[in-house]
Chains A and B, each alone.
Chain A
Amino acid sequence: MQNTLLLTIILPAVAVPLVYFLGKKSSKSAAFLIVLTCLINIALLSTTIPTILNDTSHKYVESYYWIPVLHASFTLFVDGISLSMAIITMVLILTAALFSINYMQEKKGLAEYYALLTLLSIGLVGVFITSNLMLFYFCWELMLLPSYFIIGGWGYKEPYRAAFKFFIFTHAGAVFVLLGIGAIFMVTGDLDMFQAQTALMTANPELVKWILLSLTVGFAVKMAAVPVHMWLPDAHSEAPAPMSALLSGVIISAGAYAILRVSLGTVFPAVMATDFGNIFLHGLTIFGIISAFFGSLIALVETDIKRIIAYSSIAHMGYVLFGLSLFPFQEPITGTVLHLVNHAVSKGLFFLSAGAVMKQLEIRDIREMGGLAGKMPITATSSTVAALSIAGIPPFACFMSEFLIFVGAFQTINIDNFYLIPTALMLIATVLSLAYALRFLSHVFLGSTKHEKVADAPSFMKLAMIILATLVVALGIWPTFFIQLITSASFV
């Protein structure tokens, strides 16, 4: 089909009002409509797989008329990396919608909630499937708006406070991205990522340096790398569980994807040969290590069930930053993108199962829980799968990708022995992640039962968790599909 990618944007856009009006009558059918759009979108995206794998350019591109004055065309493109991210995004939105059926049952204003969720899916998919920086920025902020209202409207405690923090931090990051994009437009006269890459090669390196820094700082805020992570624990823990799953699974991954695609893919080649290029990559490594240790250590002492997982997300973004700093070698980049995919599924599952526990017990302190394994077998199993995957235990998903990152790191040490100590430190950090995962499991599910009258999660919540748990195991045993897709994409 000719307009496959355009349809993936238009379909949810058309679905927004439909979902809203359907949701006014029955919120369940609204959720099913979202599931349906996600399924159709996955099917649409999958039709591009043959082109990506077999075509010589390994890309699938569509371009439409938009704002010619600003050189902004509505360019949609997928290569292996974009496609993997887009598909996993759709899967997560699908499960989030399914999970919401039971999880959000008693809440008010569900029509608005589902409509916002659909709106969010446009931004989330759009970020991954465009190569025009203006459209990219549109989608980038379109992720922010619905999330703000979902966290604020349906969150816990003081939700608008957490949402405010989330909005201001990431919006402040985004304006730096905007400055970078504006500067790219000024220097190259173009807003297409691939054309800008060639044009930047001849630009003034001093300016390119600032563009690179400005963009990367902006993206790092969304990614919640350590000095700019403050919004994440609040936003993730106060949001309703399906939203936390999306925040942690996809939205922060979008930050990492953007660093890879825009900072490293478009701007970095222009300064790669200079000293600054090296310093920049080493800087990423250092912030990666700090994030990994900071996140893991706090997750070890945190007692709020969702904050543990939130901090673990910071730790995992540390691994991703470390992986990105090994640019432009093939294995670590493949590993990093694969880790984004695997982390999205595992962390999504982790948040959903934590949400199930919270929903059934109505408490959030893990010290007051215990012995739930027998009462909530499905939730316990999926939590275990998620926790072990997060800890990097085979045969679960994250093991494969972490393994690939470390293989890449060892190869890089041969060329640049700066990476020797960071790699060793990162290996230690994985031990820490095992520690907090086991602490979580033992506190919540093992030990003596403190709650007698607890039933397992309702059926749709179970279904959502089972889908993701199956995926985590499947991706751990057979990652070939995504690896093939990701390696087909080329950088530099």
Chain B
Amino acid sequence: MIALLDVSLPIIAFISFSLLTIPAVKIIRKRKSGKTVLGLCWFLAIFIVAGTTVANLALKYYAEPSPQPFLNLSLIEGSSVIFSSVFLVDAISVYMTIIFTIVGAVIFIYSLFSINPNEKLSERYYAVMLMIIGCVVGTALAGDLLTLFIFWEATAAGSSFLMLYQKTAKSLHATLKYLVMIIIASAFIIYGLSVIYALTGSLNFWEVKHALASLADKHLIEIAFIFIAAGYSIEAAVVPFHMWLPDAYTAAPASSSAFLSALVDQGSYYVLLRVLIYILTPPTVLPWTFMFAVLSALTMVVGNLLALTERNVKRLFAYICIADVGYNLVAITSVTPLGIMGNLYFFLAGGIATALSFMVVGIFNSMGFKTLDDFSGVGRKMPFTSLSLILAAFSFAGVPTFAGFIAKYLVFTSAIEANMSWLAVIGVLTSVIQAAYLLRLINYMYGRKPNAEAEAKIKEPKKLLVPIFILAIAIIFLGIYPTAVLNLIDPVIKQFPFMP
């Protein structure tokens, strides 16, 4: 039986370790010898402890499949308490917790190697990273709209620090843009939540859902829905609210972009999924699917076309993140069990692929290769790094034997199932565009001659290849044998008729 402690331990572990990291790294830095080893040991210990708490939760959840689709754990017992934090444990939230922890750990290795721990303020960078992992895990496990909101806003606030780390003019500008958007978004959400609270007298997922389903007058729900959906769409960078994302991800250091794209982005899709499908809907209450189907088509087309015209490679991958929002929305709007499976698989596959590509692009950027022309001929000189980028590229394009294919297959099939074949057709056609610009990148990397002065700088960074190869192998493994992960998501199908 899962107790409240099992659920809250991962969150507590990450957040308390994040606070401890600042003094710990400072102490380690002052020592004369063995800095690297001690530092590594400290972070290894954190991930072992936190990983154990997550494993504990996962094992307890999967050990005895409970007849209930979800567990409802309240911080204060008794339903009369209005503002008690409530946690929700179902297959989706456990799965999200697992992937956030694992992917977060791999990216953490990368940032340890790419952000120098001896640098001033670097300890805060690591602390914020751990804090964000704790917060997204909290978001995944949240069981009422307010808990969800608090954890999610904490994630967003922390993200701005990660973007700002290098303190260049560009990153200041981008972070400001991001913060403004996020604050507008949270104002929208708070407004929507207050309307929901006024209508239903609660923010608890189940009570809100029941109350909304039986409500006669739908006008106020519509208003609340528009505000909440718009707020979370801004945070997920759905076109036309996407402008902050390319700037932010391009200006941020590589490890931040990888981290944000793999955890925070996927977290924002999770929030959209949870809020839209599980709480505010079912579509019978409000026919929102068509609106989001149009937004999703728009996001896929705009994201991919912007990427097609982009010559800065890092920005190109930022645009792919936008396109990925569109693919996730396809599955969300289908409102089918297959679609939710597709979403969950996409969270992992897309997260790994974007993280991998930002990591690799970060290596190239640090050598001064920024635009497509700079990438000319690097493939032959840095075979391993380039190979990893190719794997990520094919995963994005949805080529089989790479993780992205299974994700896209599930997503498009769910659209066909929901009688929205037009969306599936747009989806596959934009995938072809995706293949086109990614192949153009490969063409530059392998088909062209490197310019002589750049060639001298080329050197493969051995350490950074470790996290990169972990993700590259994961992409192939998930593409060839997806069952390993699909079995984790499988209970979703049985839980699909939502919450009772």
Contacts and interface: CB of A to CB of B under 8 A. Distances in A.
Contacts of A425: none
A276 interface: no
Contacts of A210: 421
B190 interface: no
Interface size class of A (residues with CB under 8 A): 20 to 34
Contact of A145 (B394, B421, B490): B394
B431 interface: yes
Contacts of B442: 152, 160
A182 B421 CA distance: 10
A80 to B, nearest CB: 27
Interface of B: 341, 394, 397-401, 405-406, 409-410, 412-413, 416-417, 421, 424-425, 428-429, 431-432, 435-436, 439-440, 442-443, 446-447, 481-483, 486-487, 490
Contacts of B412: 178-179, 182
A69 B484 CA distance: 11
B397 A159 contact: no
A175 B483 contact: no
Given A68-B483, A178-B409, A186-B416, A141 B400 contact: yes
A182 B413 contact: yes
Contact of B483 (A66, A176, A179): A66
Contacts of B486: 67, 69-70
A70 B440 CA distance: 33
Contacts of A171: 397, 399, 432, 435
Contact of B341 (A69, A137, A153): A69
A230 interface: no
A43 interface: no
Contacts, number: 89
Given A138-B400, A175-B432, A159 B447 contact: yes
A182 B439 contact: no
A175 B446 contact: no
Nearest to A168: B436
15 contacts: A67-B483, A67-B486, A69-B341, A141-B399, A141-B401, A152-B446, A160-B442, A160-B443, A160-B446, A168-B435, A171-B435, A179-B412, A179-B424, A183-B413, A186-B417
Contacts of A69: 341, 483, 486-487, 490
A210 B429 CA distance: 17
A164 interface: yes
Nearest to A141: B400
A160 B447 contact: yes
A179 B428 contact: yes
Contacts of A148: 439
A172 interface: yes
Nearest to A134: B409
A168 B417 CA distance: 27
Nearest to B383: A112
A168 B401 contact: no
Contacts of A66: 481, 483
Top 7 closest pairs, chain A to chain B, by CB: A160-B447, A182-B413, A175-B428, A160-B443, A141-B400, A138-B400, A69-B486
Contacts of A104: none
Name, among A69, A152, A210, the residue most crowded by chain B CB atoms within 10 Å (CB to CB).
A69
A167 interface: yes
Interface in A143-174: 144-145, 148, 152-153, 158-161, 164, 167-168, 171-172
Majority secondary structure of chain B interface residues (helix, strand, loop or mixed):
helix
A159 B487 CA distance: 43
A413 interface: no
A186 B424 CA distance: 13
Interface string A49-78: 000000000000000011111100000000
A142 interface: yes
A148 B436 CA distance: 13
Nearest to A149: B446
B383 to A, nearest CB: 9
Contacts of B446: 152-153, 160
A185 interface: yes
A427 B397 CA distance: 43
The SS class assigned to the A binding surface is helix
Contacts of A152: 442-443, 446-447
B424 to A, nearest CB: 6
Contact of A142 (B341, B398, B400): B400
B439 A167 contact: yes
A112 B428 CA distance: 31
B400 A137 contact: yes
B411 to A, nearest CB: 10
B397 A179 contact: no
Contacts of A186: 413, 416-417
A179 B416 contact: yes
Interface string A328-353: 00000000000000000000000000
B376 to A, nearest CB: 12
Nearest to B448: A160
A138 B409 contact: no
Contact of B413 (A144, A172, A185): A185
A297 B172 CA distance: 63
Given A159-B447, A160-B443, A172-B432, A182 B409 contact: yes
Interface in A199-213: 210
B400 to A, nearest CB: 4
A68 B417 CA distance: 19
Given A66-B483, A67-B486, A176 B428 contact: yes
B54 to A, nearest CB: 23
Contacts of A179: 412, 416, 421, 424-425, 428
Interface in A428-447: none
A68 B483 CA distance: 7
A63 to B, nearest CB: 15
A138 B401 contact: yes
Nearest to A139: B400
B162 to A, nearest CB: 35
Given A69-B341, A70-B486, A168-B439, A182 B447 contact: no
Contacts of B443: 152, 160-161, 164
Contacts of B439: 148, 164, 167-168
Q: Which of A138, A153, A182 has the most CB of B within 10 A?
A: A182
Contacts of B436: 164, 168
Contacts of B435: 167-168, 171
Contacts of A141: 399-401, 405
Nearest to B443: A160
A145 B442 CA distance: 12
A186 B419 CA distance: 10
Contacts of B416: 179, 182-183, 186
A291 to B, nearest CB: 23
A323 B164 CA distance: 65
A143 B140 CA distance: 40
Given A67-B486, A142-B400, 20 more contacts: A65-B483, A69-B490, A70-B486, A137-B400, A141-B399, A144-B399, A152-B447, A159-B447, A164-B443, A167-B435, A168-B439, A171-B397, A175-B398, A175-B428, A175-B432, A179-B421, A179-B425, A182-B412, A186-B416, A210-B421
A129 to B, nearest CB: 17
B91 to A, nearest CB: 13
A160 B446 CA distance: 8
Nearest to A108: B380
A125 to B, nearest CB: 15
B306 to A, nearest CB: 19
Contacts of A175: 398, 428-429, 431-432
B220 to A, nearest CB: 37
Contact of A178 (B428, B447, B487): B428
